Structure 1
Amino acid sequence: MMTDETAMAAVLKLLDLHYESFHDVEPYATATGHPVPTDTRGWSQILVSVLTGVKGLERKKGADLDDGSDVKGANTWEAIDTPRFNGVIKAGTKAASSGNMTSLDAMPHLYLVLWDDTSRGTARCRIWVVRPQTDPVFRAMCAAWYAKRQSGEIVSDNFQLHPPRGQDTNVIRNTCGNLTYPLYFCAERAADGSYSVVTYDAAAPVTGVCSPA
């Protein structure tokens, strides 16, 4: 297990690596008429593991982290479609926990990772954390979505959360509720520099709760 100081140094190095790899290939993608290749899901999962010390499942199927937690990522850089967190809770699969609240009961944490740019001209990465097993406001929103899906009012299997892209807010939107989410981590990178930590709340995964926006 890395110390907090060592982990944070690794996090910042990883953020710079992601930024540089994306922007180094961008001119080639543009020149050849292709999207910039990126794996937001993979980068986000690795980032959360480095920050928390909780590893992934390697090549096994299941949750994103080996404690049962999930990671969702969204990236606005050169995005064609509107970036959002997709498939946040289970629906439309054959799993016994699909379409009901038991999927949340097995998830200690849900990490939401957003890569965007600020109005200040800095690249930014934010991580919000939810405790799905115990957060009453988040669970109420999910229960409302499941109820609307069961009644036919919602026909989609995709529970989406819409992050505050380019905005300095912690409000994340959904059809069944706009909530303020606990901000776990935030770092920004100036155009001529490296990422630096803006916010790090070590208590967020332990005591953080959502609130109505």
Structure 2
Amino acid sequence: MKKANKKNQKSVAITSQDEKTRLNLVKQFIESVILSQYRQLVDWQTVTGQSSQLDSGYLAQQLVSLLTGIPGTGQRGKGPDLADGSEVKAASTLSGVDVPRWNNPIGELRKREEYLNRPSIFFVLFDTTNRGQNFPLRVRVWRVQPQKDDIFRQVFNEWAKSSSSGNFQLHPPCWRDDNIATNQAGNLELPLMFYAIQRRIGAIDYMEITHVNLSPGLCKLVKSR
């Protein structure tokens, strides 16, 4: 019981903050945790020759909790990522070789139904504006609400008809300024919730938040790229 109480106490802090405070925390989190760690890893890469990749999954979950005020479940990959039953999907091009994907492993019918009944699915992308460059760091978050998003459900159900892998893959708009995620069953313009881009003043890094819409609407179906 004591352990459970401690966990609850830790999660209360974010739930009691207003949107303005949460956005200030988001900016601080990206600058002091994500950007700072990534810049250090890029510098150390010149010494070790090792990858400067970040653990994008857990960073994305922390980020979404700060944005929404919804705490995590602390289940480390088991069950939903947020306390309201929502999922967080992360992808990153940082120090990566291959183009990343948002993977949604949902082969069984029961899991497909659960997936479409999630309150929200948050798609997070860490990338840069140009392929092959380490900076500037860019952070984007899209929010899909599958229970009421008919277009998203349409593409998902079309995928499910012919799926053999059981993994609903969406390809993020890496190194692009659009919001289009691609899939063989249909391309989706995802509702953009958050956009931040790294800027520099002299030798100082900071993140400029250029877009915030916590209720960004529904997906749109777009033609093949």
TM-score greater than 0.5 by the shorter chain: yes
Partner of 2:18: 3
Q: 1:97-141 CA distances to partner (integer Å, 9 max, x unpaired)?
A: 23x3x123430000000111125x632111000001111000011
Unaligned segments of structure 1, at least 5 residues: 150-154
The structure carrying a bigger strand percent of its residues is 2
Structure-2 residue corresponding to 1:152: none
Query: What is aligned with 1:77?
Result: 94
Matched, 1:66 2:66: no
SS in structure 2 of the partner of residue 126 of structure 1: strand
Q: Secondary structure at the match of 1:50?
A: helix
Q: Deviations over 1:135-169 (max 9, x none)?
A: 100001111111102xxxxx322211111111110
Letter in 1 for 2:210: V
Other-structure match for 1:111:
122
TM-score normalized with structure 2 length: 0.82
1:166-189 Cα shifts (integer Å, max 9, x gaps): 111011111111011100010111
Distance 1:29 1:107 in 2: 39
The within-5 A match list for 1:134-213 is: 134-149=148-163, 155-192=164-201, 193-204=205-216, 208-213=217-222
After TM superposition, list the pairs within 5 Å mapping 1:51-62 onto structure 2.
Answer: 51-59=67-75, 61-62=78-79
Work out the percentage of aligned pairs sharing the same amino acid. Answer: 32
What is the CA RMSD across the aligned residues, in angstroms? 1.9
Report the Cα distance in structure 1 between the residues aligned to 2:56 and 2:123, rounded to whole angstroms.
Answer: 12
Is this contact kept in 1: 2:107–2:166, CA < 8 A?
A: yes
Per the alignment, residue 33 of structure 1 pairs with: 49
Q: TM-score, normalization: structure 1? A: 0.87
Q: Give 1:30 shift.
A: 4.2
Q: Which runs of 4+ in 1 moved over 6 A?
A: none
**Alignment partners' CA distance in 2, 1:118 and 1:48:** 22
Q: Which amino acid aligns with 2:145?
A: R
Q: Is the 8 A contact 2:116 2:153 kept in 1?
A: no
Unpaired runs of 5+ residues, structure 2, are 1-15
The answer to whether the Cα contact below 8 Å between 2:53 and 2:96 also exists between their aligned partners in 1 is: no
SS at match of 1:22: helix
Shift of 1:19: 1.0
Residue in 2 that maps onto 1:132:
146
SS of structure 2 residue aligned to 1:86: strand
Which residue type is aligned with residue 186 of structure 1?
Answer: Y
For residue 111 of structure 1, give the secondary structure of its aligned residue in structure 2: strand
Instruction: Out of 33-42 and 66-75, give the one that drifted further.
Output: 33-42
